[in-house]
Amino acid sequence: MFAAEKGLEIDVIKVDIHAGENRSQPFLGLNPTGTTPVLVLENGFAISETIAICEYLEGVYPDNPLVGFVPQERAEALMWWRRVDLQVVQPMTAGFRAAEGIEMFRDRVRCIPKAAEEFKLTAQEGYAWIDGQLQGREYLAGDRLTVGDILLFCFIEFGSLVGQAPNATLPNIQAWLARMKARPSALLSWLE
Ligand SMILES: N[C@@H](CCC(=O)N[C@@H](CS)C(=O)NCC(=O)O)C(=O)O
């Protein structure tokens, strides 16, 4: 979605994470953490960690900035990325891995089934806090779309598939979600 917002087309190689392709060679040679995504440059260098991939694309393709180039704007965008990551993405995925996803993940990472519901509630509290912050704002960082909006949107899409959608009564997140869904990049048709 980040690439699509920038108008970039990237060759996509799908990795079967259900079958564990990412947890074996040759994928581990690209990313020793065994997680997707990875951006492989033309010179062969492999970048992993989503934020590092986004920062690289932002630097090389500065049009349609999604982080920014003025220090204060960059800080604001990265601040929101981190808040979304810590308050929603990490507890949501920990809750998923400890419950619905446990068969896939039990031999990959430490899963904590007894904490599954607490992780999920933590993610819901994160949504509620973000809802309050979105009051009067078009996007997380005000009137410009930034990388944190994309992170939140993509994980709401995932969360909606696994019983961790934001509560329908959170008015600001729901209005923001409608704005995000209306963006052509949200269709992700370039991934097909
Ligand atoms: N910190 C990494 C997390 C990556 C991550 O958790 N990737 C998931 C897919 S969204 C994955 O590869 N899951 C399969 C697995 O862990 O085996 C990032 O931000 O890129």
| 85-119 tens-digit pLDDT | 999 999 999 999 999 999 999 999 999 999 999 99
Q: Which residues partner with 139 through β-bridges?
A: 142
Given a contact cutoff of 8 angstroms between Cβ atoms, the answer to whether 131 and 166 are in contact is yes
Buried b (16+ CB within 10 A) or exposed e, 97-110: bbbebeeebeeeee
Q: For ligand 1, atom 1, name the residue with the nearest CA.
A: 49
* Ligand 1 pocket residues where CB is under 6 Å: 17, 22-23, 34-36, 49-50, 108
Given a contact cutoff of 8 angstroms between Cβ atoms, the answer to whether 119 and 92 are in contact is yes
Q: For ligand 1, atom 15, name the residue with the nearest CA.
A: 35
CA-CA distance, 186 to 127, in Å (whole number)?
Answer: 20
- Look up the pTM and report it: 0.96
| 112-169 tens-digit pLDDT | 999 999 999 999 999 999 999 999 999 999 999 999 999 999 999 999 999 999 999 9
* C-alpha of residue 37 to centroid of ligand 1, in Å: 7
